[in-house]
Amino acid sequence: MRIGINARRLAGQRLGIGRYTEYLLKYWNQMLMPSETVTLYLREALAENELQLSSAFKTRVLHPRLTGALWENLLLPPRAGELDVLFCPSYTAPLMYKGRYVVANHSTNEVEKGTHDWTYNWTYRPYYRLAALRAEVVIVPCRTVKEDIQKHYGVPEDRIEIVMEGVDDTFQPITDENILRATREKYLGEDVPYVLFVGKHSARRNVPLLLRAFAAAKKREKLPHKLLLMGPNIHGYPLDQMASDLGIADSLVRTNPIFTDHRDIIPVYSAADLYAFPSAYEGYSLTVCEAMACGLPVVAANRAAVAEIAGGYGFLIDEITVEALSDAIGKVLTDRELWADLRAKSLVRASQLRWKTTAQQTLDILCKAA
């Protein structure tokens, strides 16, 4: 069985798809049968032994180093003709590829108004739709995305497989107070409790609303907490000015660190008191899973994949308003019994969502497709 994977997202800092691909490979390394091989097709070489993969894996760097779409459509198809099945982990597949392939689609967030500008429907959306329609199987992370792909892309139900994504086994709560205190001092400048958000500050994630809700809860409940926003402010929201206008300029901390190893974020989750994620639509959320695996209570919107991940385990709000989010933040942080209950539930849920299961189900689908 010759499996190939479009592994170009392994280059650079591994966010989202890069992390998804890396964890699949880590667990496939322990799962492959003697007759199975995996070829990684790359735009640039990886550091030697970076992934510590067995001899069942080989890499092929395809030159010249074109942009992602050109590289995928001009260089990948002729090289991948030797395969039994090609795995495309990032929404798209080579338009001219004649072999069997499986594509992973992690979100159809364009169905939520305001998530993308008008150009998206004339560029990415038809590319994603065509890749899904031509695939042997479309892998999706949750029921919400499956239903959206059926409805908006027209892919038959029997060619869509749900494989929920998980958390690496290294994500566990850190209880060493010295590490937790050092983490708070590193990111906040002092040893104070904090509420955490991790991810791009995209429109659908309602970061300005989170800031207003946190300010209201902090003033009403006299909370000692700061708000740590970790991730790129891609829309350039004037968050510092907003914090100043809200009277919490000294309680907002923004950072976008580059972790050489994604496990370096574990202390950041573990040292927080609450994970707040008021997203209107997510095809999935690895950060919610990771936060729960580190024992962090979650406050989130009761929408899409987050509802499937955290429903019954987190504190979910039905309406994404300043008032609802503020009340939820204040209640969880002031009711220690509720906080402890949510922490326990987070750990239970995270134990059900592990990468070993994700990787095995994905591998089974590829073998069947081939």
Write the burial class of residue 300 (CB in 10 Å: 0-12 exposed, 13-18 middle, 19+ buried). Answer: buried
Question: What are residue 315's DSSP bridge partners?
Answer: 299
Tell whether 150 and 218 lie within a shared domain. no
**67-96 average pLDDT score:** 92
What is the reported pLDDT for 204? 87
Q: Please compute the mean of the pLDDT values over residues 5-15 and round it to a whole number.
A: 85
* Of 83-87, 122-126, 319-323, the least confident: 122-126
pTM for the whole thing? 0.88
Check whether residue 111 and residue 205 sit in a common domain: no
Q: How confident is the model at residue 114 (pLDDT cuts 50, 70, 90)?
A: low
In this structure, the answer to whether residues 332 and 185 fall within a common structural domain is yes
Verify that 65 and 158 share a domain, yes or no: yes
For the range 72-81, what are the long-range contacts, defined as Cβ-Cβ under 8 Å and sequence gap of 24 or more? Answer: 72/6, 72/8, 76/6, 76/41, 79/41, 80/4, 80/41
pLDDT higher than threshold 90 for residue 166: no
**Number of structural domains found in the chain:** 2
Residues 262, 212 share a domain? yes
pLDDT digits (tens, 9 = 90+) for 234-286: 889 999 999 999 999 999 999 998 887 888 999 999 999 999 999 998 888 99
CATH code of the domain covering residue 286: 3.40.50.2000
181 part of a folded domain:
yes
Q: How far apart are CA 62 and CA 73, in angstroms?
A: 12
Q: Please indicate, yes or no, whether residues 61 and 158 belong to a single structural domain of this protein.
A: yes
Same domain as 92, residue 196: no
Do residues 196 and 131 both lie within one domain? no
* 3-class secondary structure, 165: coil
Which among 27, 25, 34 is positioned nearest to 1, based on CA atoms? Answer: 34
Has residue 309 been placed in a domain? yes
Whose tokens are 């060619």? That residue is 159
Residue 262 structural domain: 177-351
Q: Is residue 172 included in any domain, yes or no? A: no
- What's the confidence (pLDDT) of residue 111? 61
Identify whether 90 is part of a domain.
Answer: yes
Closest CA to 58 of 29, 92, 98: 29
Specify whether 112 is located in the same domain as 147: yes
Whether residue 313 sits in one domain with residue 347 = yes
* CB neighbourhood size of 307 (10 A): 19
- Scan for tokens 């429903």, then name that residue: 311
pLDDT at 121 over 70: no
Same domain, 44 and 10: yes
